[in-house]
Amino acid sequence: MNPGNAVAANQAPRGSQVCIGCHAPPEQQQLSGRLLGRWLAPNITSDQVSGIGAWSRSDLLRYLREGRARGRGQAGGPMGAVVESLQRLSDAELAAIVDWLARQPAWRDPQEQVPASERGRPLADDLAVARRAVVQSPTGRARGAALYDAACASCHGADGSGSRDGLFPSLYRNSAVGRRTPYNLLAVLLEGVARTAPEGPVMMPSFDGSKGVPGGLSDEDLASVANFVLTQFGDPAAARIAAGDIGRARAGWWGPGQASSARGQLVAVGGGPGGATAACFRCHGLQGEGDRASAAPRLAGLDAHYLARQMRDYAAGTRPSGVMATIARQLPASDYQSVGLYYAGQAVPAAGARKPASDPLLLQQGAVLYALGAPDRGIAACASCHGPDRKGFNPVYPGVVQPAAYVDLQLRLWRQRLRRNDPHDLMGEVARRMTDADIRAAAAFLEVPP
């Protein structure tokens, strides 16, 4: 970690730890943004161009409270769950986060000259003409326009201006569309949006045809509509999306080689280059359910990018485990993502799969630590980062319902500085303030599913 860019968790307001963990890349400028699987956690420094310096205070407050700020952006993917959690904070607490963000140093990408949320204009073309043109020219701009008309215009408007009440956002002056790296546009086409705002649910369907969803599009058509949207409403220079980019966005893998759930299953069951003795199921169970007796963690249902990052950290030695380090060093990086994709698709064990601890007082103490922390001792609430339902938010903050012996061990490794794969040391800061009794209580509570 670069000490000059660090922000200690205990010096930041409640809720800001999520900003640090997600938007602050290791060894780079604090809050300057990072790619998390298929989603980009963008630059949220005070820079007027690359960051959120051009957003007004009311823009930021509304975004944190409602998940949208007209003419700026809206929350999707992992940020949607974060916004739902922030709704539990008071207005004063949200204002403290906004003030804290304004104090962070600005960082600008030298390749950017215009704020992402200030690009684009209304579409002036007649989409009826595009529908006729696509018959003669079934590729290129005409096809993108026809797909936009069929799949997008009913909600976002024929000219891309969205609905009057802002429930369906404008596509121009929209940071997800105007950014020169349109990861989030591709992600929202594949995943859709599902979050709860103060006024009710906010929904957008997935258009990922590989899922067999109604109205789903092929990868070629998704690329066509993405390029049309980028050209008309965002940064035309980014309109270079190919069908292969849709596949990479789906896998959340942009490196060499290919990643897929099917390949991950082969490694999980067969062990990959390490052979049968390195097969994941031998310790983690056939469905990735974990094992209480051996402290092997649950893998089922965890975020694919989080699991891949743990494999990289085992290989690098920043997360200690002789067994896992040996296995990880035998696999290519694409297999890390493949294994993650496979286990992310496995069902989380049912609540009855684990019996609660026998000591109800211990469970109660753990529940208090999780929900509230111990502010008098500088211990942040676990729920601030891992969510009130313990399911986690994203690749940085995973679900934490795990065998008690596993949680106990990991907290002690953080406390002893032996586990070092949090570049901002947020977990280390917490664990070093916890007593042995705190660790036992948290571990007991986290073993019991909600």
Considering the domain boundaries, does residue 121 fall inside one?
no
Pair (225, 277) in one structural domain: no
Check whether 178 has a pLDDT greater than 80.
Answer: yes
Pair (45, 108) in one structural domain: yes
User: For the chain, what is the domain count?
Assistant: 4
Q: Which residues lie across from 74 on neighbouring strands? A: 68
Pair (307, 380) in one structural domain: no
Tell me what pLDDT residue 26 has: 82
**311 band by pLDDT with thresholds 50, 70 and 90:** very high
Check whether 353 has a pLDDT greater than 60.
Answer: no
**Average of per-residue pLDDT across 243-257:** 95
By mean pLDDT, which of 34-48, 165-179, 297-311, 342-356 is the weakest? 342-356
Pair (148, 245) in one structural domain: yes
Considering the domain boundaries, does residue 256 fall inside one?
no
User: Given 333, 349, 365, which residue is the final one in a domain?
Assistant: 349
**Average of per-residue pLDDT across 139-167:** 90
Considering the domain boundaries, does residue 171 fall inside one?
yes
pTM above 0.85, yes or no: yes
Pair (267, 343) in one structural domain: yes
Domain range for 387: 354-446
Pair (159, 78) in one structural domain: no
Tell me what pLDDT residue 431 has: 97
Pair (131, 246) in one structural domain: yes
Residue 192: exposed, middle, or buried by beta-carbon count in 10 A (0-12, 13-18, 19+)?
middle
Considering the domain boundaries, does residue 119 fall inside one?
no
**130 band by pLDDT with thresholds 50, 70 and 90:** low
Check whether 285 has a pLDDT greater than 50.
Answer: yes
Higher pLDDT, 151 or 133: 151
**Average of per-residue pLDDT across 96-123:** 95
Pair (228, 270) in one structural domain: no
Rounded mean pLDDT of the chain? 91
Tell me what pLDDT residue 131 has: 61
User: Given 349, 367, 401, which residue is the final one in a domain?
Assistant: 349
Pair (101, 151) in one structural domain: no
Pair (271, 217) in one structural domain: no
**Average of per-residue pLDDT across 431-442:** 97
Considering the domain boundaries, does residue 39 fall inside one?
yes
Tell me what pLDDT residue 186 has: 98
Q: Which residues lie across from 34 on neighbouring strands? A: 41
Check whether 404 has a pLDDT greater than 50.
Answer: yes
User: Given 251, 285, 312, which residue is the final one in a domain?
Assistant: 251
**3 band by pLDDT with thresholds 50, 70 and 90:** very low
Tell me what pLDDT residue 138 has: 61
By mean pLDDT, which of 24-28, 56-60, 339-343 is the weakest? 24-28
Tell me what pLDDT residue 30 has: 86
- CATH code at 426? 1.10.760.10
Considering the domain boundaries, does residue 118 fall inside one?
no
Considering the domain boundaries, does residue 122 fall inside one?
no
Tens-digit pLDDT profile for residues 378-391: 999 999 899 999 99
**350 band by pLDDT with thresholds 50, 70 and 90:** confident
**Average of per-residue pLDDT across 243-264:** 95
Considering the domain boundaries, does residue 405 fall inside one?
yes
Pair (282, 328) in one structural domain: yes
Check whether 102 has a pLDDT greater than 90.
Answer: yes
Tell me what pLDDT residue 5 has: 41
Pair (190, 265) in one structural domain: no
Tell me what pLDDT residue 10 has: 42
